[in-house]
Amino acid sequence: MTPAKGLGDEVPTFADRGPVEAVDEMRTTGLWVNPLALAMGGYGAEGAFVLAPAVAVAIEGAVQPTRFGVAAVAGAGALIFPAGRAFRGLTLTPRVVVARSLREGLGVSHGNMMGVGVAAGWSWAWEYGLSVRLGAGGLASVGGGRDPWAVHRAEVGQVHADVVVDASLGWLF
């Protein structure tokens, strides 16, 4: 009679597996919210789609309180990753933003804003999909509105300069 297999053997552990190759799949889509904007009463999201290994196009939309009442904000831009991997590492984000007051009638432009800006920061992405992006930059705009992520404003004639903060929490698909 032969003894049963494994009765005297130790149970294999994680260390007994040997070298394992990490699978790092390329995520091509991301969806983020800005908790700072949420804390200030704004609601919105940003979606990004990878165009090249280090470049994604981003589209954002939000509803944000301003000094002129509630404004609808739309923006588009790029997420550029100089290190060569989308959604990871150093991030440059040039954008175009448009805001329109929802309390004003057609033809009234006190609460409207158009602007261009750029922010720089760092992006973290985990294998299971969680993504965090932190950064800061500036936005030059014309009009009476204000970018929802602006934390400070300086005015020179009709052009406004805003300091913007990017603190985004999201998921990659």
Domain assignment of residue 13, yes or no: no
* pLDDT attached to residue 130: 97
pLDDT for 3: 54
- Which one is predicted more confidently, 15 or 60? 60
Q: What total of structural domains would you count in the chain? A: 1
Cα 170 to chain centroid, rounded: 7
> Is 50 exceeded by the pLDDT of residue 23?
no
Task: Record the pTM.
Answer: 0.77
**pLDDT score, position 113:** 83
Residue 99 phi, psi dihedral angles, 5° rounding: -125, 140
> Could you tell me if residue 3 is inside a domain?
no
Question: How confident is the model over 125-154, as a mean pLDDT?
Answer: 79
Averaged pLDDT for residues 150-165: 73
Give me the domain span that covers residue 118. 27-172
**Residue 105 pLDDT exceeds 80:** no
With respect to residue 154, please indicate whether it lies within any of the assigned structural domains: yes
Instruction: Say if residue 152's pLDDT is above 90.
Output: no
- Select the more confidently predicted residue: 47 or 141: 47
Q: Whole-number mean pLDDT of the chain?
A: 83
Distance CA 148, CA 123 (A): 21
What is the tens place of the pLDDT at every residue in 25-51? 689 999 999 998 899 889 999 999 999
> Under a CB-based contact definition with an 8 Å cutoff, are residues 33 and 170 in contact?
yes
Residue 6 in domain: no
Asked whether residue 142 is domain-assigned, the answer is yes
Taking a C-beta distance cutoff of 8 angstroms, is the pair 145, 153 a contact? no
Domain CATH number, residue 112: 2.40.160
The tens digit of pLDDT for each residue in 71-97 reads 899 999 999 999 999 999 999 999 999
In a domain, residue 44? The reply is: yes
**17 belongs to a structural domain:** no
Determine the Cα–Cα distance for residues 24 and 124; give it in Å rounded to an integer. 14
> Under a CB-based contact definition with an 8 Å cutoff, are residues 31 and 171 in contact?
yes
Element at 76 (helix H, strand E): strand 69-80
Residue 124 lies in a domain: yes
The total of other beta-carbon atoms located within 10 Å of residue 76's CB is 15
Cα separation, 37 vs 33, in Å, equals 8
Q: Which residues contact 93 (CB under 8 A, 6 or more apart)?
A: 58, 77, 78, 79, 80, 118, 119, 120, 121, 135, 137, 166
